Amino acid sequence: GAVVSQHPSWVICKSGTSVKIECRSLDFQATTMFWYRQFPKQSLMLMATSNEGSKATYEQGVEKDKFLINHASLTLSTLTVTSAHPEDSSFYICSGRLYNEQFFGPGTRLTVL
Amino acid sequence: RKEVEQDPGPFNVPEGATVAFNCTYSNSASQSFFWYRQDCRKEPKLLMSVYSSGNEDGRFTAQLNRASQYISLLIRDSKLSDSATYLCVVIGFNNAGNMLTFGGGTRLMVKP
């Protein structure tokens, strides 16, 4: 299957700082990438859909000014958590769509102190 | 009501047991269904698609009942390595195209 990478895999930061997470499709071009968030013992919740070259579409309840998404190329999408707070601590997973299948990155565990 | 609902478990079964999970979905227009497997602190990985006619892949059998809007996953001869969380996934649509909606997951623990 296709491979998606994320960087960093784990980040700890102080409250109020911004954190950028990169999602790359390594062996395919993903015109659409998805960003999910997963809290402990809960399922994945879609945050936003990112289309290359256009603005991301955010799900209800997700603040677009807090979670900045950039999808400047067919192989890279970034999620920036601005002014992170402890309640933003979560597991962030991206996925890239190839045909009708989604391939997930390994996830980024964010801990905000 | 959640769009996709699953019994969270955990299901604790001995090796060799047969175990079944059910998942219900609320949108009758949903067309595509999947089972994903997620290991602790890892990303979900596609286990199998679910077809109307039912499908089998080794020890795993998936069934779809459109009339009752539920999907099932049957695991035969459970292995220790089957211990994971199984996510029921339904494809829906938003303004950006199609999207996956995940159930809350069912946790399986296979014990020796």
User: Helix/strand/coil (H, E, C) string of chain A?
Assistant: CCCEEEECCEEEECCCCCEEEEEEECCCCCCEEEEEEECCCCCCEEEEEEECCCCCEECCCCCCCCEEEEEEECCEEEEEECCCCHHHCEEEEEEEEECCEEEECCCEEEEEC
pLDDT of residue A10: 93
Query: Cβ separation of A57 and B96 shorter than 8 Å?
Result: yes
Contact across the interface for B41 and A91, Cβ inside 8 Å: yes
The answer to whether A40 touches A110, Cβ cutoff 8 Å, is no
Taking only the tens place, the pLDDT of each residue in B15-49 is 999 999 999 999 888 888 999 999 988 889 989 98
Is A51 at the interface with chain B, CB within 8 A?
yes
Question: For position A107, what pLDDT does the model report?
Answer: 93
CA atoms of A56 and B69, how far apart (whole Å): 31
What's the average model confidence in pLDDT over B56-70? Answer: 94
- State whether A51 and B96 contact (CB < 8 Å): yes
Alpha-carbon span A83 to B72, nearest angstrom: 42
Cβ-defined contact of B100 to A59 (cutoff 8 Å): no
Q: With beta carbons under 8 A apart, name residues in chain B contacting A111.
A: none
Res B96 pLDDT > 60: no
B interface test, pick of A38, A44, A50, A59 with most B CB neighbours within 10 Å: A44
Residue B80 burial (C-beta neighbours within 10 Å; 0-12, 13-18, 19+) = exposed
Of the partner residues A57, A104, A109, the one whose CB lies closest to the CB of residue B44: A104
**B61 vs A41, residue with greater confidence:** B61
Q: Are B39 and B66 in contact (CB under 8 A)?
A: no
Tens digits of pLDDT across chain A (113 residues): 689 999 999 999 999 999 999 999 999 998 889 999 998 878 889 999 988 888 899 998 999 999 999 988 889 999 999 999 999 999 999 999 887 778 899 999 999 99
| pLDDT higher than threshold 70 for residue B93 | no
The two structure tokens encoding residue A6: 């994320």
Give me the pLDDT at residue A41, please. Answer: 79
Query: Cα–Cα distance between B52 and A1 in angstroms, integer?
Result: 24
Instruction: Please tell me the predicted confidence (pLDDT) of residue B68.
Output: 93
Average pLDDT over residues B60-89: 95
Cβ within 8 Å, pair B87-A44? yes
Taking CA atoms, A60 is separated from A52, A83, B103, in Å, by 21, 20, 18
Confidence of residue B63 (pLDDT cuts 50, 70, 90): very high
Per-residue confidence (pLDDT) for residue B98, from 0 to 100: 64
